[in-house]
Amino acid sequence: MSRTPKASQRTIAELANVSQSAVSLVVSGRAEANRIPAETRIRIEQVIREVGYVPNVAARLLKGTRNGLIGVHTYERVFPVREDDYYHEFLVGIEEAAVTHGVDLVLFSSTLRDDGSRAVFTEGMNRLRLADGSIFMGLAQDDDELAQLARDGYPFVFIGRRTVGSDELTHVTADYAGGVAATIDALQAMGHRRINYVGTVERDDPHNERLRAYRDEMSSRSLDARVVTLVPSRIDNEWDDMLTAEPTALMVETLELADAVATCADDRGLSIPADLSCVVLDTPSRSGAASGWSSMALPKREMGAAALQLLQRCMDESIRPQPVTLPVSTPGNETIAPPIN
């Protein structure tokens, strides 16, 4: 069975009776800037559709021309394609914005090291170069790789505040400080003053933002700040430490911790919120033990869309744009009740 010859820009030029350079300008989206007449552009585009021409992305990349591809990379071991994955909603927001902006996404899901973690560079080569720029998400990060990307001038945006050394990377984040303040407002409105903070042992910038906001807010309100950091799997052994000074409310930093607290409280016959008010400083899942908890829900889809828009600005502007901060929702009273003592 013989193959149909692949159409080339030369073929298109001959069929449209124009120069090959005119075809190249139309394909690269630079026709108007180079004053290609509208009727010529329309004729070329018609031939392109008729012959089914597809630009050679690799060749355009070598020429330094944008190819309309946006990369999505995560250092997490599992790429967030499952609907119940924590990062899935971010990915949906990115995809929706990509449709709006007329760009395609490349999910860099095979960039695995031997230990199962993901890498940007393979044998010294930046695999993300296939895309015009990339969006990063996930808790983990490789500071050396990120610093190299910044030195190379490769445009990228993180979902969540990130720093490498003393340098703050371009990012989209949530207003954790405002959300924490609103959470303490809601707890105080119900009469709570002994409010403990339950944080994760594994720290990153977004976690530290929440914790810093808690300490600042408690201090400004002349309330005692009590913090315990722990591993969800050890929460049963550290339950008494978590309830130091007999708090009437807990602010729980992550969804994983919230599920562990909810399970452990149930095992002890405690009712949330009748015996202990709880708020998770994140978006609870629909099926976990902490589902239905009062929460400082993050605007995940909006953050994903904002990340793509910010990346477009990074590619279009010579000056690095400022980070974007989006508001979080105010906690409801689902698991907040007046203290019993």
- Quickly list DSSP for 132-153: SEEEEESS---HHHHHHHHHHT
- The Cα–Cα gap between 63 and 214 comes to 50
Are 158 and 87 spatial neighbours (Cβ–Cβ below 8 Å)? Answer: no
* Average confidence score pLDDT of the chain: 85
- The Cα–Cα gap between 107 and 79 comes to 9
Are 82 and 71 spatial neighbours (Cβ–Cβ below 8 Å)? Answer: no
The residue that leads in pLDDT, 37 or 61, is 37
Strand partners, 171: 158
- Mean pLDDT over residues 24-46, rounded? 81
For residue 91, give the nearest of 286, 298, 308 by alpha carbon: 308
- The Cα–Cα gap between 55 and 8 comes to 8
Using the predicted structure, report yes or no on whether residue 255 has a pLDDT greater than 60.
yes
pLDDT in tens, 177-216: 999 999 999 999 999 999 999 999 988 888 899 999 999 9
Using the predicted structure, report yes or no on whether residue 110 has a pLDDT greater than 70.
no
Are 128 and 154 spatial neighbours (Cβ–Cβ below 8 Å)? Answer: yes
Q: Coil, helix or strand for 162?
A: coil
Instruction: Report which secondary-structure segment, H or E, holds 72.
Output: strand 69-74
Angle at 163 between CA 88 and CA 231, to 5 degrees: 60
The pLDDT of residue 8 is: 78
Using the predicted structure, report yes or no on whether residue 115 has a pLDDT greater than 80.
no
The residue that leads in pLDDT, 66 or 57, is 66
Using the predicted structure, report yes or no on whether residue 94 has a pLDDT greater than 50.
yes
pLDDT-wise least confident of 100-104, 111-115, 317-321: 111-115
The residue that leads in pLDDT, 249 or 41, is 249
Confirm or reject CATH 3.30.300.30 for domain 69-173+301-326, answering yes or no: no
Most trustworthy range by pLDDT among 61-65, 206-210, 282-286: 206-210
The pLDDT of residue 75 is: 76
pLDDT in tens, 120-145: 877 677 888 888 899 998 877 888 88
| Residue entry with tokens 């808690």 | 214
Strand partners, 167: 164
Four-way CATH pick for 176-295: 3.30.70.20, 3.40.50.150, 3.40.50.2300, 3.40.50.10860? 3.40.50.2300
Q: Coil, helix or strand for 308?
A: helix
The pLDDT of residue 111 is: 60
For residue 304, give the nearest of 174, 176, 207, 177 by alpha carbon: 174
pLDDT-above-70 percentage for the chain:
87
The pLDDT of residue 56 is: 59
Are 294 and 331 spatial neighbours (Cβ–Cβ below 8 Å)? Answer: yes
Strand partners, 226: 196
Q: Which amino acid is at 99?
A: V
Per-residue CA distances from 214 to 104, 178, 188, 208, 221 (Å): 40, 10, 13, 10, 11
CATH of domain 9-55: 1.10.260
The residue that leads in pLDDT, 83 or 255, is 255
Q: Do domains 9-55 and 176-295 have the same CATH topology?
A: no
